[in-house]
A and B are shown apart, each in its own frame.
Chain A
């Protein structure tokens, strides 16, 4: 028993709110041993983050905690729940430390990185300021940041998200704690960056014999790094066991449902064979991108055609190119996935298709008509044929407008077939749309906050389809949703797409979703198209090294397959480094 670093027994947490006590955790037992990686998985509201915060006694003052949370300190177990704040300070960072989700905001913007790391050392050890600074530089080196001496004098805004997360990890390591609690440490990062951070965590844990309690919603991350898994739902652990066991032979129906909802990533074995040097991104106008036409020429109408589109942003008076010479086509009834990491320009390209941005070069053709040249009424009529769904379903619906009115708004603005609709006609159409997205009767009169995230995204979909658009632009429509909810929304989108036959530009960072949903895919990197073609072909045998690396970086929930993927990715990145 001496190697137990964390023992949680019968932990229950409730929050005092205006509407009474709300339970968040209802009786959790969990043990973490030295050197082990334990993953705590679950969807939003499952209580996993609350459990993780209780380990360091960091819950807000509105929380009422019962049960015990014991941390091993010099052979003795100390109960965090019953330790007063002035003594908790001594445990935090020294016995156990924490890594948070959002590296962009987790660091003090007005303090140098070196000082922020040194502070952790100075909090617990009687060393000089200079010695603490030296340690900070060492720690920056050990988390794999190049030029650690220079980094120590820098501020957080000078680093990228992945680099900042490495600094947060350095802070967590500073006093060599027995346990690191990491709450969604890679969720805010791109997949390739996520892979790097997971590699780092795995290495550090092994080197230092530290235990890691990893809170995540991502089953692929679990497969990549965890020894044990505890699955949480509604404040309880429903299944707990070895990672292989839980991921490959789940016993609880909820675990099974959760795993089933994870979009399948293309298999790992095929991502290694890389042929470099294929000409990409130069399809002739009107042809399917990359010229990989299926059997015979595609006769379907081209609803969206981007020809050599370049887009600029103005940042502090300077022009920054976000998209460079992009060629894309979407045909009626087709779904094109536009994938890329943050900053790749994929959302910018989407906005140009909606007429929200004007290309610096090239042109956007909707239904064969140039959007740039259309003016006034003609332009509006053209845009009436384009629907859009945005990422955040909460933010893209007016909170003070009943959802029926939100859905009706495009009908009010554009009418239908060139004429205005009467109020009863509009009401009927709204009902029809809400039926189509499977929302119950009476939903029209309710407000966005009364719906769940998934329902809100379905409302967004209903609004997007109100005018029977020929083209739907969906920008990360399910990124803010839990996997099980994502699966529902995607199934609905697929059904509606089959039924209504619109062309769809599906913008996403999630290769699994794109793999499951789309016919063709285009990969963007730093504003340029690196590869495009039928999704199955591109994912099975990527021609571009970046696409291959991207694919290999997506973790899959199967531990054995994930090991193979990791090996494949490491070979790829090693190859790139050479």
Chain B
């Protein structure tokens, strides 16, 4: 323990969280991040556009079905501009997107923007509720496990988390339907239908299973993060200082350790947003919940290109916004980076 004077303490460097919020104030930070976001979204749209057009058969075949004649297909392609070079198609898509026009769905008899506007709030509701439920369970569970490290409770919760994490969402959903709906009859197996968020909220019982199915994998993941973050912090020197001044252990955990452990975990949630959209795809399909996931799913099934592109754009925006939120939350929670946010 008698190590003498590391000239520049390694620990000092290690405690500074890897947030890139500095450099010339909050305004510039935000501008830089938004520009980055736009670049990312642009690149994603190029990739998706290219991939869609690389698919064999093309959208006409997908939309019109196997029995469609060559004339029908040619007419469809001409009507939707699919007979033009891909680059031109992309540029016209890009030009229209900039004005907010994402095109018309081939099948829904609806503009893509309308289709998304109708479904996005419902998906946000579902994922938002899942997230709240998940965090409400994962954070206390992780802290409790860390405090009871290597005891029976810790092992059982860890095992449970690993099982929950490795169970595919669709299987988990079916299992929940079987147990809680078919057998116990507690909750309906189908999600509430309806065109608006208000209508969905009016039938809370129907939301239980979808929300639970969405929440379980997040609980599994984030209770692990929370456990290890809490363990790391329990080993920190400041915990010993707090104990040495006579702070009750419970308060040491809740007042000192929790806040410091929460920062990286909460920030991680931001990066998790796109994963949750992916989860919605399965959950909505399983419970027949009319949100973005179901829209994406059916568009993919029927090669409804404009809708697919629109959905991908929404998801990439969510990804970018999520990581931006992650950085902001981290910077706000941690005084070491807060100074640069003024």
Chain A residues packing against B (C-beta within 8 Å): 42-45, 48-49, 56, 58, 85-86, 89-94, 97-98, 100-102, 104-111, 116, 119-120, 123-124, 155, 157, 161, 168, 171-172, 174-175, 183-184, 187-190, 217-218, 316-317, 342-343, 346-347, 391-392, 476, 479-482, 509-510
Binary per-residue interface labels of chain B (221-256) against chain A in the complex, 1 for a CB within 8 Å, 0 otherwise:
000000000000000111011111111110000011
Q: Let me know if A188 and B22 touch, CB within 8 A.
A: no
Q: How far is the CA of A263 from the CA of B244 in the complex (A)?
A: 35
Whether A174 lies near B245 (C-beta < 8 A) is yes
**Residues in A whose Cβ lies below 8 Å from that of B259:** 110-111
Residue of B at shortest CB range from A112? B335
Contact B5 A91 (CB under 8 A): no
The 0/1 profile, CB within 8 Å of A marked 1, for residues 109-129 of chain B is 000000000000000000000
Q: Does B333 contact A (CB under 8 A)?
A: yes
Q: Is the CB of A188 within 8 A of B335?
A: no
Query: Given the known A-B contacts A92-B246, A97-B245, are A44 and B238 also in contact in the complex, defined by CB atoms under 8 Å?
Result: no
Contact with A along B185-213 (1 / 0, CB 8 A): 00000000000000000000000000000
Q: Let me know if B6 and A391 touch, CB within 8 A.
A: yes
* Contact flag A93-B246 (CB < 8 Å), given A105-B237, A171-B241: yes
Q: Is B71 an interface residue (CB 8 A)?
A: no
Q: What is the CB-to-nearest-CB distance from A317 to chain B, in angstroms, rounded to a whole number? A: 4
Complex Cα spacing A3 to B54, Å:
88
What is the minimal beta-carbon distance from A502 to any residue of chain B, in angstroms? 23
18 pairs, CB–CB < 8 Å, chain A vs chain B: A49-B1, A89-B247, A91-B246, A100-B240, A101-B1, A102-B237, A105-B12, A105-B236, A108-B238, A108-B242, A111-B259, A119-B247, A120-B246, A157-B16, A161-B9, A218-B4, A391-B7, A480-B3
CB-defined contacts of A482 to chain B, threshold 8 Å: 2
Contacts of B15 in A (CB 8 A): 104-105, 109
Total inter-chain residue pairs, C-beta < 8 Å: 145
B263 beta carbon closer than 8 Å to chain A: yes
B342 at interface (Cβ–Cβ under 8 A)?
A: no
Q: A104-B12, A187-B4 are in contact. Are A109 and B334 (CB under 8 A)?
A: yes
Which 4 A/B pairs are nearest by Cβ-Cβ distance? A93-B246, A217-B2, A93-B245, A120-B245
A188 near B237 with CB under 8 A, answer no
Q: How far is the CA of A218 from the CA of B2 in the complex (A)?
A: 9
Q: Given known contacts A104-B12, A480-B3, is B247 in contact with A109 (CB within 8 Å)?
A: no
Given contacts A92-B245, A109-B238, A110-B259, is CB(A102)–CB(B2) below 8 Å? no
Q: Is A110 a contact partner of B241 (Cβ separation < 8 A)? A: no
Partner of B7, one of A108, A217, A342: A342
Q: Which A residues are in CB contact (< 8 Å) with B7?
A: 342, 346-347, 391, 476, 479, 509
Q: Would B2 and A106 count as touching, CB distance under 8 A?
A: no
Pairwise interchain contact B238-A107, C-beta atoms closer than 8 A:
yes
Q: Is B302 an interface residue (CB 8 A)?
A: no
Q: How far is the CB of B342 from chain A (nearest CB, A)?
A: 14
- Contact A89 to B256, CB < 8 A, known contacts A100-B241, A342-B8: no
A480:B4 contact, CB within 8 angstroms: yes
B148 within 8 A of A: no
For the complex formed, measure the closest distance between the CB of A468 and the CB atoms of chain B, giving whole angstroms.
29
Known: A316-B22, A476-B7; 10 extra A-B contacts, CB below 8 A, are A44-B2, A48-B1, A100-B237, A104-B11, A105-B12, A108-B242, A119-B245, A119-B255, A346-B7, A392-B6
Cβ contact within 8 Å between B245 and A106: no
Evaluate contact between A92 and B243: CB separation under 8 angstroms. yes
Contacts of B335 in A (CB 8 A): 109-110, 155, 157
Looking across the interface, which residue of chain B has its beta carbon closest to that of A392?
B6
Chain B stretch 234-289: residues in CB contact (< 8 A) with chain A:
236-238, 240-249, 255-256, 259-260, 263
- Residues of A near B96 (CB, < 8 A) are none
Beta-carbon contact of A187 and B246 below 8 Å: no
Q: Evaluate contact between B5 and A509: CB separation under 8 angstroms.
A: yes
B175 to chain A minimum Cβ distance, whole angstroms, is: 39
Q: Are A90 and B241 in contact, with the CB atoms below 8 A?
A: no
Residues of A within 8 A of B336 (CB): 109, 155, 157
Complex alpha-carbon distance, A341 and B322, angstroms? 43
Q: Is the CB of A119 within 8 A of B244?
A: no
Identify the closest chain B residue to A187 (Cβ): B4
Nearest CB to that of B262 among chain A residues?
A: A110
Bound CA span A479–B4, Å: 5
The residues of A that contact B4 with a CB separation of less than 8 Å are 187, 217-218, 479-481, 510
The reply to whether B246 and A102 contact each other, CB–CB distance below 8 Å, is no
Chain B residues contacting A97 (CB-CB under 8 Å) are 244-245
Q: Give, as a whole number of angstroms, the nearest-CB distance from A102 to chain B.
A: 6
Q: Quick one: CB contact mask for B329-341 with A, threshold 8 Å, 1 for yes?
A: 0000111100000
Are B240 and A58 in touch, CB under 8 angstroms?
A: yes
Query: A248 vs B256: C-alpha distance in the bound complex, in angstroms?
Result: 46
Shortest Cβ distance from B239 into A: residue: A108
Neighbour of A188 across the interface among B5, B16, B238, CB < 8 A: B5
Does B1 lie within 8 Å of A184, measured CB to CB?
yes
Mask: chain B, 1-34; 1 = CB below 8 Å from A; 0 = not? 1111111110110011000001110000000000
The answer on a CB contact under 8 Å between A168 and B247 is no
| Chain A residue contacts of B243, Cβ below 8 A | 58, 92
Contact across chains for B8 and A111 when beta carbons are under 8 A apart: no
**Which residues of chain B are near A91, meaning CB under 8 Å?**
246
Distance from B28 Cβ to chain A, minimum over Cβ atoms (Å): 10
A105 touches B3 (CB 8 A): no
Q: Are B242 and A119 in contact (CB under 8 A)?
A: yes
Chain B residues with Cβ below 8 Å from A100 are 237, 240-241, 244
Contact A317-B2, Cβ < 8 Å, known A111-B256, A120-B245, A157-B335: no
Cα-based distance from A183 to B238 in the complex (angstroms): 14
Check if A89 sits within 8 Å of B248, measured CB to CB: yes
Name the B residues within 8 Å of A42 (CB-CB).
Answer: 2
Partner of B241, one of A107, A342, A346, A479: A107
Residues of chain B within 8 A of A58, CB atoms compared: 240, 243-244
User: In the complex, what residue of chain A is closest to B338 when comparing beta carbons?
Assistant: A155
For residue A108, which residues in chain B have a CB less than 8 angstroms away from its CB? 238, 241-242, 256, 260
Cross-chain contact A187 with B2 (CB below 8 angstroms): yes
Q: Do B245 and A171 touch (CB < 8 A)?
A: yes
Across the interface, name the chain A residue whose C-beta is closest to B13.
A104
Residues of A within 8 A of B242 (CB): 108, 119
Partner of A109, one of B8, B246, B260: B260
Q: Is A105 within 8 A of B238, CB to CB?
A: yes
Partner of B334, one of A106, A110, A168, A184: A110
A92 contacts which of B11, B22, B244 (Cβ < 8 Å)?
A: B244
Q: Are A85 and B246 in contact, CB atoms less than 8 angstroms apart?
A: no
Query: Interface centre among A106, A172, A189, A476, by most B CB within 10 Å?
Result: A106
Q: Which residues of B contact A392 (CB under 8 A)?
A: 6
- How far is it, in angstroms, between the C-alpha of A154 and the C-alpha of B117 when the chains are bound? 46
When C-beta atoms are compared, the residue in chain B nearest to A49 turns out to be: B1
* Contact status B3-A110, CB under 8 Å: no
Q: B246's contact among A101, A124, A168, by CB below 8 Å, is which? A: A124
Instruction: Report the Cα distance A183→B2, complex, angstroms.
Output: 10
Q: Contact check, B9 vs A168: say whether CB atoms are below 8 A apart.
A: no
Set of chain B residues within 8 Å of A102, measured between Cβ atoms: 9, 11, 237
By beta carbon, the residue of chain A nearest B337 is: A157
Complex CA gap A42/B1 in Å reads 10
CA distance A346 to B11 in the complex (A): 20
* One of B5, B23, B245 near A317 (C-beta < 8 A): B23
Instruction: Please name the residue on chain B nearest to A108 by beta carbon.
Output: B238
A43 to B2 CA separation, bound complex (whole angstroms) = 6
**B9 engages A188 (CB within 8 Å):** yes
Complex contacts, A481 vs chain B, CB 8 Å: 4
Contact A123 B247 (CB under 8 A): yes
**Complex Cα distance A45/B241, Å?**
22
For the complex, give the distance between the alpha carbons of A97 and B245 in Å: 6
Contacts of B236 in A (CB 8 A): 105
